[in-house]
Amino acid sequence: MNTMTESKKTVTLNYINGEWVASDSEQTAVSKNPAKIGEDVGYYQMSSSNDFNQAAVSARKAQKAWGKLAGSVRGDYLLKAAAILEERIEDVATAMTQEMGKTFAEAKGETARGVAILRYYAGEGMRAIGDVIPSSDSDALMFTTRVPLGVVGVITPWNFPVAIPLWKMAPALIYGNAVVVKPASDTAITCSKVINCLHDAGIPAGVVNMVTGSGAKIGMEMVNHPEIDAITFTGSNTVGKQLAHAAVDRGIKYQLEMGGKNPVIVANDADLDLAADATISGGLKSTGQKCTATSRVIVHKDVYEEFKEKLLAKMKTITVGDGFETGTWMGPCASAGQLETVLSYIEKGKQEGAKLLYGGNQVLKDQGYYVEPTVFENATPSMTIAREEIFGPVLVLLKVDTMEEALEMANDSEYGLSASIFTTNIGNMLSFINEMDAGLVRINAESAGVELQAPFGGMKQSSSHSREQGRAAIEFFTSIKTVFVK
């Protein structure tokens, strides 16, 4: 069992060497329901350095045998885990909605995506991992193969507590690595349910480990530990860069996926209803708490007023509330701290002279951490709300005279994660594809769409320039070995 009952409270345990164990710190912390102030979801371990050391050592001992298994055999474990997770979609999604507020429909969709990720990477166990290369010596055989990195440290955020851990762990595992995952504290209970699916699938002891607790403590412990060979991280730029510096000092591989300030361009020939719907979906679903969420809405002057009217009309139909309630479209911010961050950006937008068109208020204060969907206009590209990642349901409208100006404005950001354009003009499409500095560009679709079989990652300050998901994951989670046989 991944939990224990102690003094009438449910406590989630660490998972080390195939067993669910309590931290030797004997300390726990509470996971709160952001939709219901005062409701505790459960407790998780505040782990010690010793806990992490045990997990890392266990992973090292298990990795050698795991790496020697045939890829198809490793894939069988992932297939079994996928089947178990599929049976438990309702339970896992319930924990997700309770812990971070995402609507139950979105939580079920994310969990189903986790099932698909496991099945996709199970199939990777049967794919080619090298090439035969002609040698200058006619009597020699030369080819490449790929070998696992060893033990991979996985640090994941709270906004996708099923999908992100799995899109990191599944490729790490199928390519022969062992893992130690440190999930975000706000969603540690949800992550433990995912780990339990791997446990119940019979994955060998030590191949997967989970340690919960302080990110500042466990995260730095992870990157500095001698048994860790690589770090894959999704989170803030500040923390990501700290991890990168430490990884460089140790000479280990690192992968960072960080922030975004994602634009959507609405051209003067766009389908405005489609653009408005996609802007709302891309910017406000999951309460805007996606790294690929639409934030800047750059609209051609010829259609600005009409688009604005359609956007506002659609936004006024959004229902805010508990993600379990029928009819709720947008849930709460994930925590009190996240709510305060969003409200502070809204206030800064007003102070800097942007016009608040809609929303901007905290609502249902006596219930949870709710804020209205919010739209600003009359903003300039230099304003804080147009430059910094808010990670909340806040859209900023920006008017432009030409498509050239729109592209220039869209690229005027330190980030380069995702971007989209709405247009029916092939020239606009091609210019956007060629000139947009983002790792994911989408045409006539919301900025937040990410497909598991395709490479995902950002440019500029949004990532360390590697790619996750799809076949591209093999580039990070393995090393190439060139073989020469005489």
Dihedrals phi, psi of 108, to nearest 5 degrees: -65, -40
pLDDT in tens, 275-332: 999 999 999 999 999 999 999 999 999 999 999 999 999 999 999 999 999 999 999 9
Cβ-contact 110, 89 below 8 angstroms? no
One-character DSSP codes across 352-400: TT-EEEE---EE-TTTSSEE--EEEES--TTSGGGTS---SSEEEEEEE
User: Residue 3 above 90 pLDDT?
Assistant: no
State which H helix or E strand residue 145 sits in.
Answer: strand 141-148
* 223 compared with 7, residue with greater pLDDT: 223
Say how far apart CA 394 and CA 345 lie, in whole Å: 9
pLDDT in tens, 84-137: 999 999 999 999 999 999 999 999 999 999 999 999 999 999 999 999 999 999
Position 25 scores a pLDDT of: 96
Q: How many CA atoms lie within 13 A of 145 on its CB side?
A: 8
Position 6 scores a pLDDT of: 59
User: Residue 75 above 60 pLDDT?
Assistant: yes
pLDDT in tens, 157-215: 999 999 999 999 999 999 999 999 999 999 999 999 999 999 999 999 999 999 999 99
Q: Which residues contact 269 (CB under 8 A, 6 or more apart)?
A: 423, 424, 425, 428
To which residue do tokens 């290369």 refer? Answer: 133
DSSP 464: S
pLDDT in tens, 240-261: 999 999 999 999 999 999 999 9
- Answer positive or negative: Cα dihedral of 472, 474, 476, 481: negative
Q: How confident is the model over 449-453, as a mean pLDDT?
A: 93
Q: Helices 163-174 & 104-124, crossing angle to 10 degrees?
A: 10
Neighbour tally for 451: CB within 10 Å: 12
Say how far apart CA 238 and CA 243 lie, in whole Å: 9
User: Is the entire prediction scored with pTM above 0.85?
Assistant: yes
pLDDT in tens, 388-403: 999 999 999 999 999 9
Paired strand residues for 400 = 300
Q: Exposure string (b/e) for 37-68, b if CB count within 10 Å is 16 or more?
A: eeeebbbbbbbbeebbbbbbbbbbbbbeebbe
Say how far apart CA 27 and CA 7 lie, in whole Å: 14
Say how far apart CA 194 and CA 166 lie, in whole Å: 8
Q: Exposure string (b/e) for 345-358, b if CB count within 10 Å is 16 or more?
A: bbeebeeeebebbb
Which percentage of the chain shows pLDDT scores above 70? 99
Please give the mean pLDDT across all residues of the chain.
97
User: Residue 464 above 90 pLDDT?
Assistant: yes
User: How far, in Å, are 55, 61, 234, 334 from residue 158 at the CA level?
Assistant: 22, 29, 10, 8
Structure tokens at 402: 């030409």
Among 440, 383, 450, 434, CA closest to 412: 383
Say how far apart CA 344 and CA 17 lie, in whole Å: 43
The amino acid that residue 154 corresponds to is: V
The pLDDT-based confidence of 10 (bands split at 50, 70, 90) is confident
Position 2 scores a pLDDT of: 78
Catalytic sites, residue numbers: 257, 291
Q: How confident is the model over 371-389, as a mean pLDDT?
A: 98
The pLDDT-based confidence of 449 (bands split at 50, 70, 90) is confident
The pLDDT-based confidence of 8 (bands split at 50, 70, 90) is low
How far does CA 384 lie from the centroid of its chain? 24
Structure tokens at 248: 């460089």
Say how far apart CA 313 and CA 276 lie, in whole Å: 10
pLDDT in tens, 331-364: 999 999 999 999 999 999 999 999 999 999 999 9
To which residue do tokens 């996971």 refer? Answer: 31
The pLDDT-based confidence of 1 (bands split at 50, 70, 90) is low
Among 347, 350, 351, 352, CA closest to 371: 347
Say how far apart CA 155 and CA 240 lie, in whole Å: 10
Q: Helices 71-87 & 89-100, crossing angle to 10 degrees?
A: 70
